[in-house]
Amino acid sequence: MSFITEIKTFAALGSGVIGSGWVARALAHGLDVVAWDPAPGAEAVLRKRIANAWPTLEQQGLAAGASQQRLRFVSTIEECVCDADFIQESAPERLDLKLDLHSKISAAAKPNALIGSSTSGLLPSEFYESSTHPERCVVGHPFNPVYLLPLVEIVGSNKTAPEAIEAAKTVYTALGMRPLHVRKEVPGFIADRLLEALWREALHLVNDGVATTGEIDDAIRFGAGLRWSFMGTFLTYTLAGGDAGMRHFMAQFGPALQLPWTYLPAPELTEGLIDAVVEGTSEQLGERSISALERYRDDCLLAVLEAVKTTKAKHGMAFSD
């Protein structure tokens, strides 16, 4: 089985937060992009989002021929996918919607064009159930902002060909990403399972009046958040065990896992909790607009990515090591 891995035309279905991020990444990599989104006014919103991200992408370095003008917005699913070499769906997270959409996308697509879904947690065996040529269908779960963060989790369904996983790795790598194959099809995959555990505990802390949303964000951004950009929890805790390493760490801190530090089940999403979270984050946002905050986030991420890259190079490591 062979799949297209030399991509000239990238199709994006759904152009919200994530779909627009894919479009920006693909355009910055010098591809032609065809996009479709059924919402009224979606094209204008998409072009505005791309324009907001473009200065960051220019700073990072555009591929030869990269241009915002190479985006074509079309009015049907079929027009969007029929000539595409690679297809990425970023539609709302609803099983019924994705099932229907993928049966239409896959019927109109070239049979050897890979199809990726941005889903954060739906299972590909379920929503690719009625797809044509399901052997080329995968999840390609990205992280926001898609045009800067390299991680993409690749998850196959029970019908995905192993060659399609390898081909998807090739395509996403060519788009400047760092693919991670999630070998078991589990809800939340790897990354969201971790992020959700943190998010759930954060909501408990707000709900219990222990901390405000700003204080919790401070606890992340001045501590573990800084080291997470270059070292994961397992290696970090190996260092926390001193010269004796992880075995000593487990002996010293393992028993704390039995203490009631975490709640595990999520708190009930009462109106009170929702208000506390919305009010807390509005205060954190202050007078800044969402696009100003996006530009600020992008500048910080560029600086962190550059610093990590330079430092890894000093240690003889590639960025993806």
Ligand X SMILES: NC(=O)C1=CN([C@@H]2O[C@H](COP(=O)(O)OP(=O)(O)OC[C@H]3O[C@@H](n4cnc5c(N)ncnc54)[C@H](O)[C@@H]3O)[C@@H](O)[C@H]2O)C=CC1
Q: Which residue ranges make up the site for ligand X (CB under 6 A)?
A: 13-19, 37-39, 42, 90-93, 97, 101, 118-120, 141-142, 144
Nearer to ligand L46V6VHR by Cβ, of 92 and 255: the residue is 92
- In whole angstroms, how close is the CB of 143 to ligand L46V6VHR at the nearest point? 4
Q: Of ligand L46V6VHR, ligand X, none, which one does residue 187 interact with (CB within 5 to 8 Å by kind)?
A: none
The two three-digit tokens of residue 200, written as one number: 């759930």
Nearer to ligand L46V6VHR by Cβ, of 195 and 251: the residue is 195
Q: Of ligand L46V6VHR, ligand X, none, which one does residue 195 interact with (CB within 5 to 8 Å by kind)?
A: ligand L46V6VHR
Q: What is the DSSP letter of 268?
A: P
Q: Measured at CB, which residue is nearest to ligand X?
A: 16
Between CA 25 and CA 53 the distance in angstroms is 9
Q: Of ligand X, ligand L46V6VHR, none, which one does residue 39 interact with (CB within 5 to 8 Å by kind)?
A: ligand X
- In whole angstroms, how close is the CB of 22 to ligand L46V6VHR at the nearest point? 13
Nearer to ligand L46V6VHR by Cβ, of 4 and 139: the residue is 139
Residue 75: which of 147, 22, 10, 15 has the closest Cα?
15
Residues in the chain: 321
Between CA 224 and CA 300 the distance in angstroms is 16
The two three-digit tokens of residue 88, written as one number: 């990425």
Which residues lie near ligand L46V6VHR (CB under 6 A)?
Answer: 120, 143-144, 192, 195
Instruction: List Cα–Cα distances, 128 to 186, 228, 245, in angstroms.
Output: 15, 34, 44
Half-sphere exposure (CA, 13 Å, Cβ side) for 179? 21
Sign of CA dihedral 207, 211, 212, 213: negative
Q: Of ligand X, ligand L46V6VHR, none, which one does residue 17 interact with (CB within 5 to 8 Å by kind)?
A: ligand X
- In whole angstroms, how close is the CB of 57 to ligand L46V6VHR at the nearest point? 18
Between CA 30 and CA 32 the distance in angstroms is 7
Q: Measured at CB, which residue is nearest to ligand L46V6VHR?
A: 120
| Residue owning tokens 């989002």 | 49
Binding annotation for NAD(+):
14-19
